[in-house]
Amino acid sequence: MTVDLVIAGRRIRLQSGDGVPMEPDERFRAFAVPSDVRPYMFIETSMGILADADPGIVNAAIPFMPAETEPDLVVDVEPGAAEIPAGAVKVFDAQLMKEVPGGVMNSGEPFWEVFRDDEAVRARVFLKDPERRALLEMPHGKMRWRIFAGEGLSRQGSVSGGTPGQHQEKTSDGKVRDLSSARDSAISVNPLPWPLDGLLLYFLFSRSGDIIIHGSGVVAGGRGWLFTGRSGSGKTTLAGIFDRARDRVIHDDRLVLRRDVTGWVMHSTPVYRNDEPRTATLDHLWVIRHGASNVAEPLAGAQAVAMILSNCIQQNWDGEAAARLAAAADDIVASVPVSRLSFLPDGRIRDYLLLRDTEEKRLATRAMSEMLDEGHAVTITAGGYSMWPAIRPGDRVRISPPEEETTPGRGSVVALRRDGGFVIHRVTDVRRGGSADISVTSGSEDQARRDRPADHIGNDGSADHIRTRGDTSLSADPWISSADIAGYVTLVTAEGDAIPVPPRRFPYLAGSIAAAAAQIWNRIAGRK
């Protein structure tokens, strides 16, 4: 039997022998995919100061990143038990922590251990009901691992499988944390009992240079925010505040951070019974703590790296893993704003952050305007999908200041000031100043108005006029004077290659269909 799980975009293939059915816990249900299907990851991305106000386009999500069909990891699941070989060295262990009022307490009971020898790293977990030991074996340098579920005895005999739901734990906000190792059927194997799944994810993502972090990820006002902090700092409280405001919560406990072509992205992981794959770009990372007021201050350099690291899931026995983690945290600090945030646990924190974000956008917009006006070219990361796929979210674009007395040709891509930021659109029509060819064409009155530049920009017939449109926009922008162009997009850098802006590739309608798909997706998935 084969079960494929796609978690944070990585495909984990669990396979067991003939006649050994597997039944993963309920929390994995939404993460399981047929092995021949390429699921699409819906990445919510934000726009930054490159706004994108086309009516037909939703900037929140678009299905454009298929996960691989080839598994990143294959795990052979054996129902029986296995022992740690003699000679293996214990490098790490953890004891069971119990939640008590006001915090957690070490129970002193063994919970899990990690051993290492010349062949492999092995993680052993101590499970209850029935009491057993499961083992995860990870041979060095191989992405084919083995799980020994430790259920050998229970499979043969009289097993009280436990009633489903018996081992679930309600958290303070009423969510059901899925800790179950209970099974409906005594003969199916639970391949990933808690906490073995967490260890497997840790080792998998750690080897790939990704980060697993304790935190709450939300998307508010089109921005992906991650709140991290030590236990009790208010991560769940914050997620609750955003959830009640109908923002999208990616996850409120444990997330995977991965770098992809669009930058750092946060993914949900299976913790609660009703968890599902959710993904958003990481636009700001906040290190949180309760405070007497809402105050944010930027963090930079080594301090920011250290604060991120202290909230990552990590095992300090593996020097290479620690170096990869530190490099990843370093890269986050270099590419994502990181701030310390003290907050009051009421709804005002959301308004505070949204306002702050708006102000930062306004500031950056002013700065970009000034630089262009002074004749500097600028580079900036693009957001939104109106020029997709010529310019994709996460691509870096170079915008050069407009040259005096020149009018762009059709097909060139320009930056225009709009909606308190900039939009990047393609020039579709050019009318030379003084031309008599400014006539009202047939069509609706609205259409006529759009087609007659003079109505929009005054009766100054001497200037050149242009009309622009996003490559995926349903309608064209109004006519403007070519003097209103803020700059020209001269270069696009995607995945390290700098190229001139490619021409429009798809009909406008194709972009609209993609936008519609995004809208539908939002409606289905936007609410829990």
Partner 1 sequence: MQLPDYNQTFLCKFELIICFMISLSSIPSHSPAVVFRRINDEFLLIPLTDNIADMDSLYRLTETGAFIWELIDGELSVGDITSKVVEEFDVGRDIAEKDALDFFREVQEFLQFREP
Nearer to partner 1, 141 or 174 (CB): 141
Nearer to partner 1, 98 or 362 (CB): 362
**Which of 251, 127, 131 lies closest to 199, judged by CA?**
127
Quote the CA–CA distance of 438 and 461 in Å, as a whole number. Answer: 9
Nearer to partner 1, 290 or 366 (CB): 366
- Name the minimum Å distance from CB 137 to partner 1: 17
Quote the CA–CA distance of 145 and 80 in Å, as a whole number. Answer: 15
- Name the minimum Å distance from CB 53 to partner 1: 19
Structure token pair of residue 483:
């003097």
**Which of 165, 116, 168 lies closest to 137, judged by CA?**
116
- Name the minimum Å distance from CB 304 to partner 1: 10
Binding site for partner 1 (CB under 8 A): 49, 72, 143, 207-209, 298, 300-302, 320, 323-324, 326-328, 330, 335, 362-364, 366-368, 370-371, 376-381, 396, 398
- Name the minimum Å distance from CB 40 to partner 1: 22
Kindly report each contact of residues 264-267 with a partner whose C-beta sits within 8 Å and lies 24 or more positions away, as own/partner: 264/331, 264/332, 264/335, 264/336, 265/43, 266/217, 266/224, 266/226, 267/7, 267/8, 267/9
Structure token pair of residue 362:
């306004």
Q: What is the DSSP secondary-structure string of 459-498? A: S-TTS-EEEEE-TT-SSPPPPEEGGGEEEEEEEEEETTEE
Nearer to partner 1, 428 or 490 (CB): 490
According to DSSP, the residues that pair with 494 across neighbouring strands are 497
| 427, 415 Cβ separation under 8 angstroms | no
Owner of token pair 């102000």: 359
User: What type of residue sits at position 51?
Assistant: A
Name the strand (E) or helix (H) holding 520: helix 508-525
Nearer to partner 1, 256 or 368 (CB): 368
- Name the minimum Å distance from CB 327 to partner 1: 4
Query: 260: phi > 0 → left, psi -120 to 50 → alpha, else beta; which?
Result: beta
- DSSP 8-state symbol, 239: H
Nearer to partner 1, 11 or 167 (CB): 11
- Name the minimum Å distance from CB 301 to partner 1: 6
**Which of 417, 516, 416, 509 lies closest to 471, judged by CA?**
509
- Name the minimum Å distance from CB 74 to partner 1: 11
Nearer to partner 1, 76 or 129 (CB): 76
- Name the minimum Å distance from CB 473 to partner 1: 24
For residue 67, how far is the Cα from the chain centroid? 14
Nearer to partner 1, 263 or 470 (CB): 263
Nearer to partner 1, 381 or 519 (CB): 381
Nearer to partner 1, 20 or 364 (CB): 364
- Name the minimum Å distance from CB 77 to partner 1: 20
Beta strands in 128-262 (DSSP E): 132-139, 144-148, 168-170, 176-178, 211-220, 223-228, 248-251, 254-260
- Name the minimum Å distance from CB 374 to partner 1: 9
Nearer to partner 1, 376 or 432 (CB): 376
**Which of 447, 458, 499, 502 lies closest to 481, judged by CA?**
458
Q: Where are the alpha helices (DSSP H) in 387-507?
A: 445-451, 453-457
Owner of token pair 């490559």: 471
Residues 6+ apart with CB under 8 A from 107: 95, 96, 97, 98
Nearer to partner 1, 302 or 516 (CB): 302
- DSSP 8-state symbol, 16: E
- Name the minimum Å distance from CB 365 to partner 1: 9
- Name the minimum Å distance from CB 226 to partner 1: 18
Peptide bond between residue 393 and the one before it cis (omega within 30 degrees of 0): no
